[in-house]
Amino acid sequence: MRWWKILGLAGVAGVAATGVAIARAERRRRAYTPEEIRIRLRERVEGQPEGRRS
């Protein structure tokens, strides 16, 4: 029975760690202003080969 408790706690810790990672990524994504996003998208499009642009 003890192994099941350890396994369960490890699972809970893994879920919590995943939630923290997702929250950090979301905060980082939302930190950009709309103008910064436009600039980054334009830079990304300019860096693509001619055949890949849509």
Question: For position 13, what pLDDT does the model report?
Answer: 95
Produce one character per residue of 14-44: b if its CB has 16 or more CB atoms within 10 Å, e if not: eeeeeeeeeeeeeeeeeeeeeeeeeeeeeee
The Cα–Cα gap between 44 and 36 comes to: 12
Give the chain's length. 54
C-beta separation of 17 from 25 below 8 A: no
Range scoring the smallest mean pLDDT among 15-19, 23-27, 50-54: 50-54
pTM of the model: 0.49
